[in-house]
Amino acid sequence: MKLLEYALKNPPIQVWRRFARLIARRKSISAFNNTNPCIFVLSTGRVGTVTLSALINLSPSILSFHEPHPLLYKMSKRAYQTGGLAGCEGIWDDVFMSLRTELIESALASGVGYVETSPQCTFLATAIYRTIPNVKFIHMVGHPATVVRSGMRRGWYAGHSADATRIVPKDDSDIAKHWLDMTQLEKNAWLWSETNKWIFEFTSTLPQEKYKFLKSEDIFSGNKDVLNEIYEFCSINYPKEQKINKILSRNYNKDVLGDFPPFSQWSSADVDQLKFHAGEMAKKMKYNLEPTS
């Protein structure tokens, strides 16, 4: 509810208390800075965000969560579906702050930074940017074929228990007319493309120092330059190589069910579907969509 509407519908003392709480909250979260940063990772998911959280948690000066509760996937989807509608901004600001204040303030009380790496806040990024002073973002991507394959193996858009929280084309979009006739692979390719397109458009509005673009492949390959950039962005010291290598040797949150071939074994029809829906964004991110044997 907007503050003006609240003020008109409630007694003055109650309105004053609400304003006092909001002012105190804004004052406390403004304590985040370059020394103790607040960072949210935006992604499609299935790009190594669990590993990223583990790497960041090697530092005692950061409180990093991968998938904290309450989960915000459904709220994030609704924020995407209602994007651009007048009057919705304040609603998502209040929703986000009401569901994350306790975690964020626990980090502040401990004198450390706060990082959240799961994709559940992706489409709430604009609300996060409005409500948390000095917040920063990481746009984390993975090769479209890798992400789509993982989605296929997990049954995304094919009866997965969390399908209700996944975005679908907006009613006024051209692709909405064809959605029901699209294959599962096409839907996952569209998800990869649309999510990254949305993130690119959002981060293009930010000052350069407020965001970092990150390829998951650079993390898993142990690229020291990229790892150093991540730690610098999080304002933490580079951990010992032994600890980093131990994390990178693990396969966090790996796919254990479902069967779909690696990209090198895809049919030409599947490759064409991937190119059609994800080709433009893949080119922008310098990903090759030609399978290699």
Tens-place pLDDT, residues 89-125: 788 888 898 899 889 988 888 889 999 999 999 999 9
Q: Sheet harboring 113-116: ordered strands across? A: 62-65, 113-116, 38-42, 136-141, 211-215
Contact indicator for 79, 123 with CB cutoff of 8 Å:
yes
Would you list the DSSP string of the chain? --HHHHHHHS-HHHHHHHHHHHHHHHHHHTT--SSS-EEEEE--S-SSHHHHHHHHTTSTTEEEESSPSSP-HHHHHHHHHTTT-TT-HHHHHHHHHHHHHHHHHHHHHHT-EEEE-SGGGGGGHHHHHHHSTT-EEEEEE--HHHHHHHHHHHTTTTT-TTGGGS----TTSGGGGTGGGS-HHHHHHHHHHHHHHHHHHHHTTS-GGGEEEEEHHHHHTT-HHHHHHHHHHTT-----HHHHHHHHTS-TT---S-----GGG--HHHHHHHHHHHHHHHHHTT---S---
pTM: 0.89
Cα radius of gyration rounded to whole Å, the chain: 20
CA–CA separation, 19 vs 39, rounded Å?
A: 26
pLDDT at 11: 53
Q: How many CA atoms lie within 13 A of 30 on its CB side?
A: 6
Q: Which residues pair with 41 in a beta bridge?
A: 138
Domains of the chain: 32-284 (3.40.50.300)
Q: What is the pLDDT of residues 193-202, one digit of tens each?
A: 999 999 999 9
- Say what the pLDDT of residue 262 is: 95
Cβ atoms of 176 and 24 closer than 8 Å: no
List the structure tokens of 210: 């407020």
What is the reported pLDDT for 252? 85
Q: Exposed (0-12), middle (13-18) or buried (19+): which is 263, by Cβ within 10 Å?
A: buried
pLDDT of residue 109: 83
Torsion sign across C-alpha atoms 71, 159, 123, 87: negative
Those residues of the chain that have pLDDT short of 50 are 1-4, 6-8, 15-16, 19-24, 27
For residue 86, the model assigns a pLDDT of: 64
Render the burial of 53-69: b for 16+ CB within 10 Å, e for the rest. bbbbbbbebbbbbbbbe
Q: So what's the pLDDT on residue 15? A: 44
pLDDT at residue 27 in the model: 47
**Residue listed under structure tokens 């915000």:** 72
The predicted structure's pLDDT at residue 140: 98
Gap between the Cα atoms of 134 and 231, Å rounded: 17
